[in-house]
Amino acid sequence: MAGPSKKAKSDIALTPKRKRTFIETWKTQFPWLRCVDDIMFCEVCRGYPSIADHNSKLYEGVTGSKRIETLQSHESSKYHLLCIQRKEVTEKGTGPMFVALKKQAENMDDQLKPMFNTAFYVAKQKLPFRSFEGLIELQEKNGIKMPTQYRNDKGCKAFVQAIAEVEKDRVSEDLKASRFFPLMGDGSTDISVTEQENVYVR
């Protein structure tokens, strides 16, 4: 006698993964939040690109599932707070002195961009920090205006450390907004017989 038939795997209805949509009341809780064409983003950070973290999800724009944890993490992030501060100063400031200071700050932001890019190149290529000054001089010969300060190895180190802080905040923000993530660790002893531990997150 034949037993009960078993359903093929293809016949079993799979429950689709629920997509978390944008909730309008979030705009009240997070005044800087905007959602246009189903893309959720931070209006304040996009308004100050020279300060904002371009790798932030809320700067790039969230198109998939939208979680309040992402918003909470972004709101407390270092570079979002800097953008909020700049916005407040811009809106409250008046008079010729404020205009002059604002213009000076904007010019400094523009001048420091190539310095940050050069320092990033030095770090990524694993070049010594002392090569930073030569690269700055090369760019000046190519017609790029560079600041007269922060041109030595100490300046390069400061830029690299600032970039590292941005990346650290970005990774921290992503981890806080994620419910699950895998970890992998490894360690070794360096030349000074000091244990060095690496932790990888995907």
Average pLDDT taken over every residue of the chain: 81
**pLDDT of the residue at 137:** 93
Domain boundaries, the chain: 19-100, 108-176
* More confident site: 191 or 17: 191
Helix 153-177 with 68-75: angle, nearest 10 deg: 150
**pLDDT of the residue at 179:** 80
Cα 181 vs. chain centroid, distance in angstroms?
Answer: 19
Alpha helices in the chain (DSSP H): 26-29, 43-47, 57-60, 68-75, 78-92, 95-124, 132-141, 153-177
pLDDT above 50 for 119: yes
CB 53 within 8 A of CB 77: yes
20-36 average pLDDT score: 90
Rounded CA gap, 129 and 119, in Å? Answer: 8
Q: pLDDT tens-digit profile of 132-173?
A: 999 999 999 999 888 887 889 988 998 888 888 878 877 887
Q: How many CA atoms lie within 13 A of 112 on its CB side?
A: 17
pTM of the model: 0.47
**pLDDT of the residue at 136:** 92
pLDDT above 50 for 12: no
**pLDDT of the residue at 146:** 85
